[in-house]
């Protein structure tokens, strides 16, 4: 009887450690050396998998999805970041099982395209529901063809939503997903304003956090909000007390119609404007409320410079990164006064400031 291969007798953890030290080309050769090695190094070779299906490669793509769905290509144990970019009606049937084959998937980056149909998009979400290891969701909502039931997911640690959103229900479902993710550490919602329509609760920080229990608050470490209404009160503040990093840009002021990021108002949206004032506030009031929490940020990015922010920054030390890009002032005098107060306020924090070398 031939003696066993001493390399194959090593503990799987040791073989995986060896694989971590190899280049991608050497890792491919190692995988091809022996069938017994394939399941041990697949997760290293398939760290990131992109699924990009178009009408031009539909036959090849369907064959690939069927292989994934049946497990013939040994991807069930892979630890991968998945990018699902496009699909057609012809692949919806096997797409669900193909995605489920990535049983150790931790991160998905999903950007639907305009040719996707509703059936395919719902199939993607349903597949993700069955992946218990999924922790990070990055979703572009621009080309969503229906309200995505992302509220069926749970237990995420990082959520990033970006793009225009035409379905209010999708963002409501994101709010429910946040409530089902008590371990959430990072939340980013950017550029989802639908221009030409009045903002309201549908595009606010309240919408994202209203389903969370204030008595069992989230312990968010990073929050990034862009193009939205923001009000810090009993609904939102409890979930921000653990923040170390905050980005607030293009915050919409429902009480001011005279600046670049003011609230959109037409003659027939009085009711929507009133609703917006319930969930939005000026940056001056935002920083007054935030200062009351006692939270000491380490990183801050903002595009306004209200006096309440200056007062907050001068109230503590420990800020490591500050990026302020004020976009408007009512007059040159106010701009000069803000600059003087900012640069001569009693703080030693480092900052990046447009026009300051």
Give the single-character DSSP code of 324: E
Q: Are strands 81-86 and 321-324 parallel, antiparallel or unpaired?
A: unpaired
Residue 311 has pLDDT above 80, yes or no: yes
Give the single-character DSSP code of 203: G
> What's the pLDDT at 5?
62
> What's the pLDDT at 331?
72
Q: What's the domain range around 283?
A: 135-344
Which among 64, 19, 25, 23 has a CA at the least distance from the CA of 43?
19
CATH of residue 312: 3.80.10
41 and 141 assigned to the same domain: no
In a domain, 353, yes or no: no
Give the single-character DSSP code of 229: B
- Of residues 78 and 36, the one with the higher pLDDT is 36
In a domain, 1, yes or no: no
In a domain, 256, yes or no: yes
Interacting residues of 248 by C-beta distance below 8 A, sequence separation 6+:
224, 225, 226, 230, 283, 286, 301, 302, 303
Structure tokens given for 255? 């009480």
CA dist 95 and 244 (Å) reads 39
192 and 328 assigned to the same domain: yes
CA dist 99 and 108 (Å) reads 10
272 and 158 assigned to the same domain: yes
152 and 286 assigned to the same domain: yes
172 and 27 assigned to the same domain: no
329 and 184 assigned to the same domain: yes
In a domain, 97, yes or no: no
> What's the pLDDT at 53?
74
188 and 40 assigned to the same domain: no
How many CA atoms lie less than 13 Å away from 117 in the CB half-sphere? Answer: 8
The mean pLDDT of 126-144, rounded to a whole number, is 93
Q: Is 192 helix (H, G, I), strand (E, B) or coil?
A: coil
In a domain, 73, yes or no: no
Domains of the chain: total: 2
161 and 282 assigned to the same domain: yes
In a domain, 25, yes or no: yes
In a domain, 228, yes or no: yes
154 and 275 assigned to the same domain: yes
DSSP string, 48-86: EEEEE--GGGHHHHHHHHHHHHHTTTS-TT---EEEEEE
> What's the pLDDT at 353?
47
Q: What is the pTM of this model?
A: 0.78
CA dist 160 and 150 (Å) reads 12
Chain centre distance of CA 275: 26
30 and 145 assigned to the same domain: no
pLDDT tens for 79-109 read 455 555 544 556 777 888 888 888 788 999 9
Tell me which of 34-38, 55-59, 127-131, 137-141 is least confident: 34-38
Q: CA-based Rg of the chain, rounded to a whole angstrom?
A: 25
pLDDT tens for 339-353 read 777 776 554 444 544
In a domain, 83, yes or no: no
The mean pLDDT of 187-196, rounded to a whole number, is 71
């Amino acid at each position: 009887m031939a003696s066993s291969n001493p390399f194959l007798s090593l503990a799987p953890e040791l073989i995986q450690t060896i694989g971590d030290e190899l280049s991608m080309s050497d890792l491919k050769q190692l995988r091809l050396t022996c069938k017994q090695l394939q399941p041990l190094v697949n997760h290293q070779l398939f760290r990131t998998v992109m699924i990009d299906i178009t009408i031009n490669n539909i036959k090849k793509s369907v064959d690939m999805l069927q292989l994934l769905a049946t497990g013939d290509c040994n991807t069930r144990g892979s630890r991968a970041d998945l990018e699902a970019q496009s699909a057609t009606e012809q692949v919806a049937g096997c797409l669900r099982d193909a995605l489920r084959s990535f049983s150790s998937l931790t991160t998905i980056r999903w950007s639907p395209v305009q040719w996707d149909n509703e059936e395919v998009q719902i199939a993607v979400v349903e597949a993700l529901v069955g992946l218990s290891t999924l922790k990070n969701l990055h979703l572009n909502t621009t080309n969503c063809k229906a309200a995505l039931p992302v509220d069926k997911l749970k237990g995420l640690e990082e959520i990033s939503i970006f793009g225009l959103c035409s379905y209010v229900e999708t963002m409501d479902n994101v709010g429910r997903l946040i409530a089902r993710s008590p371990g959430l550490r990072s939340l980013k919602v950017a550029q989802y304003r639908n221009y030409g329509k009045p903002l309201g609760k549908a595009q606010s920080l309240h919408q994202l956090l209203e389903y969370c229990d204030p008595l069992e608050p989230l312990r968010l470490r990073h929050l990034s909000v862009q193009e939205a209404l923001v009000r810090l009160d009993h609904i939102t503040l409890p979930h921000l007390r653990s923040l170390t990093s905050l980005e607030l840009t293009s915050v919409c002021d429902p009480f001011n119609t005279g600046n670049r990021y003011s609230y959109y108002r037409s003659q027939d949206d009085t009711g929507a404007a009133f609703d917006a004032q319930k969930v939005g506030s000026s940056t001056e009031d935002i920083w007054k409320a935030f200062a009351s929490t006692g939270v000491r940020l380490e990183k801050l990015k903002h595009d306004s410079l209200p006096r309440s922010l200056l007062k907050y920054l001068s109230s503590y030390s420990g800020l490591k990164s500050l990026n302020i890009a004020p976009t408007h002032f009512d007059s040159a005098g106010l701009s000069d006064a803000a600059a003087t107060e900012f640069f001569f306020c009693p703080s030693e924090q480092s900052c990046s400031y447009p026009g300051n070398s």
